[in-house]
Structure 1
Amino acid sequence: MGISRGLRIWRLGALVAIGWGLFTITVMHVISSRDPIHDTLSSYITTDPGLLSASVLALAVGSLAVLGALAAGGVPLPRTTRVLLSLWALGLATAAIFPASYPPNPDPTSGEIHLYSCVVAFASLPAAAWTLLEPLRGKAERLVLVRWLRVGAAALVVFGVSFLFARLDEAGLPVHTVTELLPVGATQRLMLIADVALLLGLVRVAVRADATRTATELQPATVRD
């Protein structure tokens, strides 16, 4: 499937940045002593701060490249979509710059910024994909987006529930059974995988939209010949 040069560059940038983010976060899990089932990614700031920041920043850069790929592919991008995708990337970058607050060097201010940056980021990506459904109505690319949007939205809900009960458990409420059934570390990682899949789905949408546009532009010349 031939694609335009501009889209090819943006797609390559997105895939390289996202791939680097996944690679560094995998290395972090391999070498770290933390529990990936119960410990959130933010808690790795106490043991592997460099790898954590590198992976999150790489995903942020890759997400901006995804936005560029969508524009280069001719996907109709409402202003709301652009803003939400930018908020996703900005939220990730802010969360990397302001780490969560953990002993032995707690920083409550940084921890609050980190928390709300994550909330903004995690909510913005599925919302951005949702705002593309109407502009893509009647197009084949919409089916690709719907499939990955459902996965991303479901993962976000599951993580949100597990995170809420984890906070209630920390507050001393009798919800430990729920936190064991839905360990926050595991659900967060599932959500991250779903978010990456959604980003790659958006790249796929850009490629298909570009191919459709190219075919449409070539069709009149073919008819004349």
Structure 2
Amino acid sequence: MGNSRGVRGWRLTALAAIAWGLFTITVLHIISSHDPIYDTLSSYTITDRGEGMLGASVLSVAVGSLAVLGALIAGGVPMTFSTKALLMLWALGLAVAAVFPASYPPSPNPLSGDIHLYSCLIAFASLPGAAITMLEPLRGTAERVFVVRWLKFGLAAVGLFAVSFLFVRLDEAGVRPFHVLTEVLPVGATQRLTLIANVALLLVLLRIAVRTETARAAVLVTSAPQP
């Protein structure tokens, strides 16, 4: 029962933090004049309305992600050290990216911008990596199916975002043909698709934690000596 309460507490904390982060960023999209199709989330650092909401949203998701890790541990989900480390890197990358905003005019800060960029790269690479490292420990379980299903969607989303981001960089470098490609595969849209995929994985992991804890509790009840 103590372990069950632990999973429940972590789960509620994770859901509350992630929901608040999504709510905040949704409101920011509504009140800001940025274009969600072509503008990256980082560009909301400089906005006509809702200043500071982006950082608050990202920090909230980072806290929720740590709570997801807590739920997995409390639920007894089999994980390697790599899985735990990658989930922590995902949360840490988000937190650092929130503290060090991207660099944009009229107040550019190249150092903060570089830290923000590499923190985001670490975060976006770490979460799919964590999902991949869970495949072997979960082999032969129904929970593995949930992770495999997410990987098909999540890796496709991350791949599209990586390609669209590369197109933007090449376009900024003056390579003309890539300007057309940035219109065909807008980086804002692919980044938001990746965000949806990441949140979906966090919810999948929460479901795995609950199912694993429930299954373990059922085994304990079954194996307990009858009076």
Residues of 1 paired with 2:30 and 2:69: CA distance? 31
Give the alignment partner of residue 76 of structure 2, picking from 74, 77, 101: 74
Residues of 2 paired with 1:111 and 1:162: CA distance? 19
Task: Tell me the amino acid that sits aligned with residue 45 of structure 1.
Answer: T
In the alignment, what sits opposite 2:67? 65
TM-superposed CA distance for 1:112, in Å, is: 0.4
Task: Tell me the amino acid that sits aligned with residue 106 of structure 2.
Answer: P
In the alignment, what sits opposite 1:208? 211
Structure 1 position 19 matched with structure 2 position 19: yes
Deviation readout 1:54-101 (Å, 9 max, x if unpaired): 100000000000000000111012111111000000000000000000
Give the alignment partner of residue 97 of structure 2, picking from 95, 115, 119: 95
Task: Tell me the amino acid that sits aligned with residue 205 of structure 1.
Answer: I
Task: Tell me the amino acid that sits aligned with residue 8 of structure 1.
Answer: R
Deviation readout 1:121-168 (Å, 9 max, x if unpaired): 000001011111100001111111111122111110000000000110
Residues of 1 paired with 2:60 and 2:4: CA distance? 24
Residues of 1 paired with 2:155 and 2:214: CA distance? 28
In the alignment, what sits opposite 1:32? 32
Residues of 1 paired with 2:211 and 2:64: CA distance? 19
Residues of 2 paired with 1:217 and 1:177: CA distance? 60
Q: Residues 14 and 66 of structure 1 are in contact (CA less than 8 Å); yes or no, is this contact kept in structure 2?
A: yes
Aligned length: 222
Residues of 1 paired with 2:51 and 2:139: CA distance? 43
Residues of 2 paired with 1:83 and 1:221: CA distance? 35
Deviation readout 1:9-52 (Å, 9 max, x if unpaired): 00000000000000000000000001100000000001133110
Q: CA RMSD in A?
A: 1.1
Structure 2: where are the runs of 5+ without partners?
none
Q: Which moved more, 1:124-133 or 1:144-153?
A: 144-153
In the alignment, what sits opposite 1:193? 196
In the alignment, what sits opposite 2:44? 44
Q: Which moved more, 1:82-91 or 1:140-149?
A: 140-149
Task: Tell me the amino acid that sits aligned with residue 178 of structure 1.
Answer: L
In the alignment, what sits opposite 2:127? 125
Give the TM-score, by structure 1 length: 0.96
Residues of 2 paired with 1:14 and 1:151: CA distance? 22
Residues of 2 paired with 1:100 and 1:82: CA distance? 27
Residues of 2 paired with 1:151 and 1:199: CA distance? 13
Residues of 1 paired with 2:205 and 2:51: CA distance? 29
Task: Tell me the amino acid that sits aligned with residue 59 of structure 1.
Answer: V
Task: Tell me the amino acid that sits aligned with residue 31 of structure 2.
Answer: I
Could you list the runs of 4 or more consecutive aligned residues of structure 1 that deviate by over 4 angstroms after TM superposition?
none
Q: Residues 145 and 205 of structure 1 are in contact (CA less than 8 Å); yes or no, is this contact kept in structure 2?
A: no
TM-superposed CA distance for 1:221, in Å, is: 3.0
